[in-house]
Each structure stands twice: as C-alpha cells, then as structure tokens.
Amino acid sequence: MPQARALDVTLVRVASLLESDPGAAMRAAQQLVREHPGHKAAVLLLGTAQRRCGDARSAAAMFSELAAAQPGSAAIRLELARAWLAAGDSAQAFAAFERAVELEPDLAEGWRELSKLRAARGEWRECDAAYARFAALANEDVRLREAAAAIAQERLDHAAEQLRQELARHPDDVAALRLLAQVALKHEDFAEGERLLNECLRLAPGYNRARADLAEMLLLQQKAEPMLPLIERLRAHEPENVDYRTLESAAYGLLGQSGRAVSILADLVVDFPEYPVGWMYYGHALRSAGRTEEAIFAYRRAAELNPAFGEAWFSLANLKTFHFTPEEVAAMRAQLARADLGQADRWHLEFSLGNALQAAGDFAGSFGHYARGNALRRAAIQYDPERTTALVERTRTLFTREFFAAQAGTGHPSSEPIFIVGLPRAGSTLIEQILASHSQVEGTRELPDIPAFARELGAWDAAPTYPESVTHLSRAQLAALGERYLRQTRPFRLLGRPRFVDKMGNNFLDVGLIQLILPNARIIDARRAPLACCFSNFKQHFESGVWFSYSLEDLGRYYRDYAGLMAHFDGVLPGRVHRVNYEELIADFASEVRRLLDYCGLAFEEQCLRFHETRRVVQTASSEQVRRPLYTAGVDEWRNYEPWLGPLKAALGDLASS
C-alpha cells in the first residue's frame, strides 16, 4: 500500500510538469513506464507528454494500443482523439471523440472538441448542439460567477482585472472572453467588444451565447445587415427562442422591412401570448410601421401581463399623442410604491408618470417625476462632460480655414447623402419627413457609420487621438472612407432614390470629417431654442447613447458645446451648413421648406408641405407627431416648468436668453 501511494504521488508530480516542462514530464513518464509496465495512468501520462512535445504520432500509437486493451475507457479515447488531432488526422480524431462521448456522455471536453470538428466539416447544427452540451456540463456561470457579479454591479475595473488574470492563465477561455466583451460594451467600446466576441467564435464556433451577444452588440450600433447571418444560425439551433426572434425582428426593422418585422412578432405573440416583452416589441414594430392603435393595444397588453414592466408603460408615454387614463395613472403609482421594484422599471415609470401629469396640467408633480427618473438614470451611467468639451476644443483647433483650404479636393465626390445634425428633440425627424416626401429623397434613419469612423480614428480612446488622426490619412484613404460610408449605408436605401437622409444628430461632432470624406454632401443643422430643446430632452428617456440628457447641468453644457462648434464651422466653412431653426420652421413653414430644398439642390414639390401624408417607417420618438399636420403645441411647453429650470439656465449662460 505505501508503494502504491508513493507511485500516486510521483504521477501527480510528473503531471504537474506537463504545462511548464513537457520534456521533463516525458522523460519522467518513460521512467515510470519502464518501472511499471502496463500501468494505465503512467502510459496515459507518457502519451500526453509525447503529444505536448510534438510527437503526436507516437502518442497516437501508444493510445491506440491502450484503447484496444481497455475499450471501455472514455479517458483513453479522449487522449487518443487529441493525439490524432495533433497529428493532423481529423477523421480518426473525430471517430475517437465520438466514441469517447458515447462511452461517457457527460465528458465535457469531448463535446467541446467535437463541436470544433463539426464546424470544420461545415456541420453547423451539429456543431452548435455539441457546444451547447459542453456549455451545460462545464457550467461556466459558476466558474466565473464573481466576475459576472462585478459586471452586474458596475464594478467594471474589478471584473476586467479578474477576467484578464483568467485569460493570462488560459488564453482560450471563451467564457472569460465573452464576459470581457460585456465590460467593453459597458464602456461603449464596440470595436473591442466585437473583436473579443469574434475571437470567442473563432475559438469555439458553436458558442451561441457569444453569437447572441455579438448580434445584440451590432443591434446597439444599428448594424443590421451583419446581424442576419448570426440570427439565422441562432434560430437554426433554437427556432422557438423568443430572444432570437425579437432580435431577428429588430434587424429587419432597422433595414426598413417593417412588414417582415411585424410578421415575426405577430407570430411570436400568438405562440407566447403571456410573454410581456414580446408584446412590447410587437408594439415597437407596429408603431414604426404607423399602426399606432394596434401598437397601443400591444403595449397595454404588455403592462397588463406585468404591471411592474416599466418599459411597457413608458412605451405608451413615448407615443407623445397618447393619454393615460386615471386608472392607468393609479396603476403606475402603485407599482412605484413597491420596495422590490427594479431600478430600470422604476425610472421608466417615473418618466411615464411625468408624462401623464404633464398632460393633466400638474407641472410641479410632473417635474418631480421627471427629475427622479433622470437622477436614477444619471446614477446608472458613466458620462464625463469634460470629454465632450475636450473633443469640441480639439476639433475647433484642428479644423481651420487654412486646414480646409489645404485639403480642397479630397474625399469622394458623391452628393447623395444629406446629413441632419444637432441635438435630439430639435426637429430633425420633421426635417427628415419633409425631405423624404420629395420624389428624389429617401429617409433612412440615424445611421451609425460616421460616429463609428470617428471611434476607429480614436475619438473615445483613453487618450483620444481624433480628430488629429485625420491628418495621417492620405487623399486616397479619405476618398476610400467616403466610398465605405456609401457602401455601408446602401442596405438602408430600399427605394432606389438618388439622395438619402442620415439623421444621426451626433454627427455635428464630425462635420470636419464629413467635409473631408464627402465634400459634396449636404449638412443641415436642426436647431431649436436652447431652453425648449434641453427641457424636451430632459423629459425624454433614451435607451442608450444620449448620456448627456439626464442632468440639467449636463444638458446645458452639451448645448453650449454644440452651439459653439457649429458657430466655428459657420466661420471656417461659410455657407457649408444650412441651419433650420425649429421655431422659424413652425412660424413660416412654406418659406423655410423652400429654403431647405434650395440648399439641397432639389426642385420644390408640393408634397413636401404635406409631409404628414407620406407613409414610411419612422423609428424615433417623434414618429406619431410627423404623421400629423404641423405640430406646434410643444414650442413653448418648457415655460410650464420654468420655476425648476435654474440649473439649466446657469449651465447655458448667455444662451439661456436666446
């Protein structure tokens, strides 16, 4: 017995050398086999060491003999499969892995390797099924529980450090890579998040959790086209998965295929009639398609199924033209009184009640709810106004008259794009609807491409290099970037019209880049009076991206940065940007529309004055308003809240009186 224990201790010691010194492990294992011929563990150890040392065929021969002698051993078959794989014989490796999991169905490593081999053979369904079996057996959620909890608690630096330590030990740990991608997403570092998730799928082609995360990350960036093959693969593995079906609908919605988006979700709510999230997404699709009454029914159904579902209530409030009943107001108050209500549900309900009390004329109560909703949201996000101000200052420093004069003739010559820039809630959707009513123009949506280019060029790096980085681009590279923009936005142009609108408001930060890569594109600044614009943003909850809107002080500062930067471009590129003041558009609509069309080089068409008759998909908070005749009620609504807007006025400074 003592001799057996001594051998076990020696085996453990030799096995510990496999990672650090496989050569030493092989020599020690050879000695053990000589001393203990036919000892199963010693032979296994020797074969593994031979494989680690690059002598995979010798290892395969040894394991083959051992497997013949012990045909019921899954462990031997697993090592035999690994040896054949290392020797480049995937067919024999595949057969050995299959036999290993047949002998021991809970052999997690066998299923993982089979998944990779299935992928190499193009057997995608079988690949995904094998990896799903591995994931269930490996239980990665338990192994990385602390890092996952840190991410959920927004302790992102702690989570990242833990995950990097894990990856230093195990670089191919795809579960850790996936969680690190979630950290990148929290920082809005989409490029790094995509890189990490693509690395997950390279290492583990059947890892559908990473595939779903990648689809969701692309959705946040409104990159619909690359979502579709991911979702097709996901749905092939789990055709009834409700999350995958809603992702598919969202992708088609982004691409303007509203009929298909609605159809997918109509089927979903039939199949899962008690699923409130499905009803909410169905409402979103119906709303985008202009089917407002049906959208209201869907949202109400979601709230009925789960009265604490704050986003369902807010979806009703966000219709702008909807009014809550007294019973619905009471129901929302009851939910807010719950101590166990989740934070996201709470802030959605605060914004919803702010809307309801505004409609009822209770402006003090309304502002209280808006303020609480914004405070909750501000506490949950990371936004540094200094970074925006610094970017604006660097932009003003670089883009001078002399700089643009030296760059004359750069970029792609296309005049197809019409950019609408500015803050949200400043009339950009109305301007887009006017232009999209013209026979030569197609309205698309807020396209993410220009901000993505800026991010690639270092706009939001820890030590930002944009916009200075554009000076390193050659004329050919600037033209290629313009061509890339046109290529990437083509899937959103479904009508084949010669011009199209990109209404990503944040492009005001990148007017200089647009000038360099698309010098003939039109740029329209949608401008609204500062107090009206900022308060309209304050009472609007945005799901993502508009991080400056959750504090009156942040809003005032952001508006100042925006107005200052646009004044700079007026000075260095006189006449390049056409400004549409919302209040002037409302006051003298026909004249302002003619000026707008003239600037865009478009002949006047009467239909542009009847913009509300134009039937198209509209995917912004103003979708119902632009389907009605000119909407004037909101021009001065901020005045009802003036007693509480002191912090905003202070942040705006002299702009508060303009």
pLDDT for the residue numbered 186: 83
Is the residue at 73 inside a domain? Answer: no
Please give the tally of structural domains in the chain.
2
Is the residue at 398 inside a domain? Answer: yes
From 17, 34, 49, give the residue that closes a domain: 49
Segments in the chain below pLDDT 50: 1, 619-624, 626-627
Token pair 């719950």 is found at: 338
From 31, 49, 67, give the residue that closes a domain: 49
Q: Give the residue ranges of DSSP H helices in 222-275.
A: 227-237, 242-254, 258-271
Cα gap 29→48, rounded to integer Å: 10
Is the residue at 356 inside a domain? Answer: no
What does the block give as tokens for 281? 């997404």
Please say whether the beta carbons of 444 and 487 come within 8 A: no
Q: Which H helix or E strand runs over 371?
A: helix 363-380
Is the residue at 64 inside a domain? Answer: no
How many CA within 13 A on the CB side of residue 22? 12
Cα gap 47→62, rounded to integer Å: 6
pTM of the model as a whole: 0.79
Cα gap 154→152, rounded to integer Å: 5
| Residue 575 CB burial class (10 angstroms; 0-12, 13-18, ≥19) | exposed
Is the residue at 28 inside a domain? Answer: yes
pLDDT for the residue numbered 439: 96
| Residue 356 CB burial class (10 angstroms; 0-12, 13-18, ≥19) | buried
Q: Give the residue ranges of DSSP H helices in 527-656.
A: 530-538, 552-572, 582-587, 589-600, 646-652
Is the residue at 33 inside a domain? Answer: yes
How many CA within 13 A on the CB side of residue 28? 20
CATH number assigned to the domain comprising residue 469: 3.40.50.300
By C-alpha distance, which of 509, 531, 310 is closest to 539?
A: 531
Range of the domain at 39: 1-49
Is the residue at 630 inside a domain? Answer: yes
Please say whether the beta carbons of 250 and 217 come within 8 A: no
Is the residue at 503 inside a domain? Answer: yes
Q: What is the pLDDT of residues 549-582, one digit of tens each?
A: 999 999 999 999 999 999 999 999 999 999 999 9
